[in-house]
Structure 1
Amino acid sequence: MHYKSLIGQWRAFYYSLCAIMVLVLITICYSNTMNNLPNTFVGRTFQHRQYVNHNGEFDQLPLTIWEFSTGKHKEISGMDQTRDNKKANNATSAASEAVHANESRESGKFARILEEEQGLSKIPEIPRTSKYPRYLFPLFQYIDGPSGLYIHIRYAIFAAIYQKRTLVIPYLHRHVTQTTGPKERTPNETFDMAKLRDIVSVSSSLDDFKRDCGTHFTLENITEGPYPEDTSVEFKLDEYAKIKRQCEHILGITMPYESDIRPLLKDVPERFKAMLTVQCLGYVTPRYQRFHNKEIEEKIGKSFYRAPYIRRMADEVMGKICEGSFAVMHWRNKSAEPCRAGFKGEACTESLKKSLALLSKQVDVIISLVWDTLHKHNISCLYVCTAPYEQKMVNHLKRSEHVHTLEDSFKISKKLSKYRDDNYVISLVEQEIAERTPLFISSGGSQWSRFVGYARERNHLKTIPLREIPGIPKHLLPIPYLIK
Structure 2
Amino acid sequence: MATHSLTFRKEVLMKTFIVLSFVSFLTVFALYQYGYVSQPLSLITYSLRPIARTRATRTHTSGYLMPALIFLASGPQNNYMRFKHVLPLVALQNRTLVAYPIRNHKTQDNASEARNLSETFDIELLKKFVPVVTPYEFFRLCNGSAVVLDQGRGARGNLLKEIHRDTGLLFHAIKLNRANSKNASTFARRPSSLWKYPCIIYRPRSAPYHNVAQWKKTSKEAYHHLKKAPYLRSMGDEGERHICKGKEYLAFHWRNRSGEWCTTWGRKHLCNFTRLNLVSESPQLVKAFQNFMKLKNISCVYLAFPPFAKRMYDILRPHIPQLYTKEDLIKTVPSIAAYKNDNFVISLVEQEIVKRAVIFIGCSQSAWTKFAKFERADMNRSTIYLTAIKHMPKEVTAIN
> Into which bin does the TM-score normalised by the smaller protein fall?
0.7 to 0.9
Whole-angstrom CA distance in 2 between matches of 1:374 and 1:261: 57
Tell me if the contact between 2:146 and 2:199 (Cα under 8 Å) persists in the aligned partners. no
Q: Note closer, same or farther for the CA distance 1:334–1:182 as it changes in structure 2 (3 Å cut).
A: same
Confirm or deny that 1:142 pairs with 2:71. Answer: yes
Q: CA deviation at 1:149?
A: 1.0
Deviates more, 1:351-360 or 1:194-203: 351-360
Pair 1:63-2:47 in alignment: yes
Aligned to 1:173: 103
Structure 2 portions without partners, runs of 5+: 1-38, 165-170
Please list, as runs of the form range in 1=range in 2, the aligned pairs for 1:138-287 lying within 5 A after superposition.
138-139=67-68, 141-143=70-72, 144-179=74-109, 183-206=113-136, 208-209=138-139, 212=142, 214=144, 217=147, 222=149, 239=153, 242-243=154-155, 245=157, 247-252=159-164, 263-264=182-183, 271-287=190-206
CA shift for structure 1 position 453? 0.8
Paired residue type of 2:52 = K
TM-score under structure 2 length normalisation: 0.75
The root-mean-square deviation of aligned C-alpha atoms, in Å, is 3.5
Change (3 A) 1:268 1:469: farther
* 1:391 to partner: Cα distance: 1.8
Does the CA-based 8 Å contact 1:223-1:271 persist in structure 2?
Answer: no
What stretches of structure 1 of length at least 5 have no aligned partner? 1-45, 52-60, 75-122, 225-235
In structure 1, the partner of 2:257 is 334
Q: Is the 8 A contact 2:150 2:159 kept in 1?
A: no
The structure whose RCO (Cα within 8 Å, separation 6+) is larger is: 1
| Alignment deviations for residues 281-310 of structure 1 (CA, whole Å, 9 cap, x no partner) | 344422221336343233223321111111
- Following superposition of structure 1 onto structure 2, how do residues 57-456 of structure 1 map, counting pairs within 5 Å? 61-65=45-49, 71-72=51-52, 134-139=63-68, 141-143=70-72, 144-179=74-109, 183-206=113-136, 208-209=138-139, 212=142, 214=144, 217=147, 222=149, 239=153, 242-243=154-155, 245=157, 247-252=159-164, 263-264=182-183, 271-291=190-210, 293-322=215-244, 323-337=246-260, 339-340=262-263, 345-389=264-308, 391-399=310-318, 400-456=320-376
Structure 1-normalised TM-score? 0.63
Superposition deviation, residue 207 in structure 1: 7.0
CA 1:279–1:261 in 2, change beyond 3 Å: closer, same or farther?
Answer: closer
Deviates more, 1:137-146 or 1:156-165: 137-146
Structure 1 residues 411 and 215: alpha-carbon distance in aligned structure 2, compared to 1, 3 A threshold: same
AA matched with 1:280? C
Cα-to-partner distance string for 1:220-255 (whole Å, 9 max, x where unaligned): xx486xxxxxxxxxxx7xx2xx42525244215669
User: Which structure: larger Rg?
Assistant: 1
Q: Please state how far the C-alpha of 1:426 moved relative to its aligned partner.
A: 0.6
Measured at CA, do residues 370 and 209 of structure 1 come closer, stay the same or move farther in structure 2, by a change above 3 Å?
A: farther
Greater shift in the superposed pair: 368-377 or 323-332: 368-377
Aligned to 1:50: 43
CA distance in 1, matches of 2:322, 2:364: 24
Give per-residue Cα distances to partners, 1:363-393, cap 9 Å, x unaligned: 3422332332232222221100111346211
Shift in Å, 1:420: 0.9
**Are residues 223 and 335 of structure 1, via their aligned partners in 2, closer, same or farther at CA, if it must alter by over 3 Å?**
closer
8 Å Cα contact 1:153/1:169 also seen in 2: no
User: Match of 2:46, as an amino acid?
Assistant: P
CA distance in 1, matches of 2:49, 2:183: 37
CA distance in 1, matches of 2:40, 2:94: 23
Q: Give the Cα–Cα distance (whole angstroms) in 2 for the partners of residues 299 and 47 of structure 1.
A: 34
- Could you say if the C-alpha distance between residues 373 and 210 of structure 1 is closer, same or farther in structure 2, counting changes exceeding 3 Å? farther
